[in-house]
Amino acid sequence: MVPFSALNALEYCPRRFYYEYVQAEMLVNALVLEGQLLHQRVDQPAVFAEKGVERIHRLYLASERLHIAGYLDALEEEAGKLVPVEYKRGREGRWLNDHIQLCAQALCLEEYLPHLAPLSHGYLFYFGSRRREQVLFLPELRQKTLESIQLALALAREPRPPAPLQGKTARRCRDCSLLPICLPEEVRALQEQQERGNATKSLLEIF
């Protein structure tokens, strides 16, 4: 089973996903610890009713059909509609990793509740900005989430981690807690050195 959080890591970086969820490598730096502390209250199972909204905290979900499982931070009932909520440290991100994690939880919920209409949206709450971002479960996001699940299952069968991120996406490495294990700059330098060696060898073979 692929944890919901693993889909988040995979969208951020396939190499990070491999280290965390295939090789079980984990480093707790200041940012990770801050996130864990902020999450403590959310991680306590509870049921609330506030301003006309009922909320269940820490709900376990699993789907054998989709091969995903994990905890949903909160499920709200608002005007007769169910709305999943995921809590995150920091501010709204520039990538879809949080959206995919939330959508996977929605797909699980829909499997539990086939008699209800498909969920239209959920919320990402960011502690850094104290704001909620509404996430629409559009067909494109649903399809990308399903593709992420299949990619996670395929990568988990690989004997080695994927290569480090390249190009513009490589700037994500500076914010990654697994940087000391991943060593992306060193790996990229070795790859470039090997490619130059192969090119020289090909030229010599011509002569």
Per residue in 81-103, pLDDT (tens digit) is 899 999 998 888 778 999 999 99
- Residues 102, 107, 111, 114: is their CA dihedral positive or negative? positive
Decide: helix, strand or coil at residue 155: helix
Confidence band for 204, pLDDT divided at 50, 70 and 90 = low
Report the predicted TM-score, pTM, of the whole model to 2 decimal places: 0.85
pLDDT of 65 over the 90 cut: yes
Q: Which residues pair with 84 in a beta bridge?
A: 75
The residue assigned the tokens 């909520």 is 85
HEC assignment per residue over 19-56: HHHHCCCCCCCHHHHHHHHHHCCCCCCEEEEECCEEEE
Please give the Cα distance from 5 to 3 (Å, whole number).
Answer: 5
Per residue in 100-135, pLDDT (tens digit) is 999 999 999 999 988 888 999 999 999 888 899 999
- Residues 106, 87, 17, 13: is their CA dihedral positive or negative? positive
Residue pair 164/176 in contact (Cβ under 8 Å)? The answer is no
At 76, give phi and psi (nearest 5°): -110, 150
For residue 140, give both structure tokens.
Answer: 């494109």
E strand map for the chain: 2-3, 46-50, 53-63, 68-78, 81-88, 121-126, 131-136
pLDDT higher at 27 or 140: 140
Per residue in 155-191, pLDDT (tens digit) is 999 999 999 998 888 888 888 888 889 998 898 888 8
pLDDT of 196 over the 70 cut: yes
Please give the Cα distance from 1 to 99 (Å, whole number).
Answer: 19
